């Protein structure tokens, strides 16, 4: 038998009156592959036709501005939306996002958006994993959430409300901040 139209990585063979097509396709460009098996020798020309469709692996690539996949925001401040363009997938799962931030997949676009409501555990290293299609493509990123500033009187109680005579030094007033 002779074989034509098989994708790269797939071969055909004939032995003991059995035709076998096997292998692992290594390319998807040109898919679907319409192949022909032609028997040789004997009487007449006999062919068999078939199709092997090879789907490419899923892809995911940042489509929002560079750096949006590694941003730092104050708590309770909306993040800049993070978007990824995908191919081949039918959905996505998300892990590691801070509370208040969610991910979605629609029409080959992953969108991460929202307002982080916690800072404990920051930085948040998130993972987007594509589902469906061929091979689970992933994307990684980081959202760092900083807590609100704080200021607390650290000098003795009452030093922040002093009454002094002119030309008399005040007691130092100190505040601890974060």
The per-residue pLDDT for 79 is 98
What's the DSSP call for residue 80?
A: P
The stretch 102-116 carries a mean pLDDT of 98
The per-residue pLDDT for 162 is 95
The stretch 31-47 carries a mean pLDDT of 93
| Predicted confidence (pLDDT) at residue 35 exceeds the cutoff of 90 | yes
170 CB contacts (<8 Å, ≥6 apart)?
A: 162, 164
Give Rg (Cα) of the chain.
32
The per-residue pLDDT for 10 is 98
- Band (pLDDT 50/70/90 cuts) for residue 84 is very high
CA atoms within 13 A on the CB side of 63: 12
The per-residue pLDDT for 44 is 87
Could you please report the per-residue DSSP string of 53-67?
--PPPPEEEE-S-TT
The per-residue pLDDT for 178 is 86
Mean pLDDT of the chain: 96
What's the DSSP call for residue 149?
A: P
| Predicted confidence (pLDDT) at residue 97 exceeds the cutoff of 90 | yes
| Predicted confidence (pLDDT) at residue 29 exceeds the cutoff of 90 | no
148 CB contacts (<8 Å, ≥6 apart)?
A: 74, 75, 76
């Amino acid at each position: 038998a002779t074989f034509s139209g098989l994708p790269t990585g797939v071969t055909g063979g004939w032995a003991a009156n059995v035709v076998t097509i096997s292998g692992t396709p290594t390319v998807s460009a040109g898919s679907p592959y319409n192949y022909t098996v032609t028997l040789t020798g004997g009487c007449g020309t006999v062919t068999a036709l078939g199709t092997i469709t090879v789907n490419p692996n899923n892809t995911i690539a940042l489509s929002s501005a560079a750096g949006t996949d590694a941003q730092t925001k104050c708590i309770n401040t909306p993040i800049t939306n993070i978007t990824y363009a995908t191919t081949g997938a039918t959905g996505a799962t998300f892990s590691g996002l801070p509370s208040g931030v969610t991910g979605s997949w629609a029409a080959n676009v992953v969108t991460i958006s929202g307002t982080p409501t916690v800072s404990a555990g920051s930085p948040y290293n998130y993972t987007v994993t594509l589902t469906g299609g061929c091979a689970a493509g992933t994307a990684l990123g980081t959202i760092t959430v900083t807590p609100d500033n704080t200021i607390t009187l650290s000098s003795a109680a009452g030093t922040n409300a002093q009454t002094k005579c002119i030309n008399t030094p005040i007691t130092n007033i100190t505040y601890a901040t974060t």
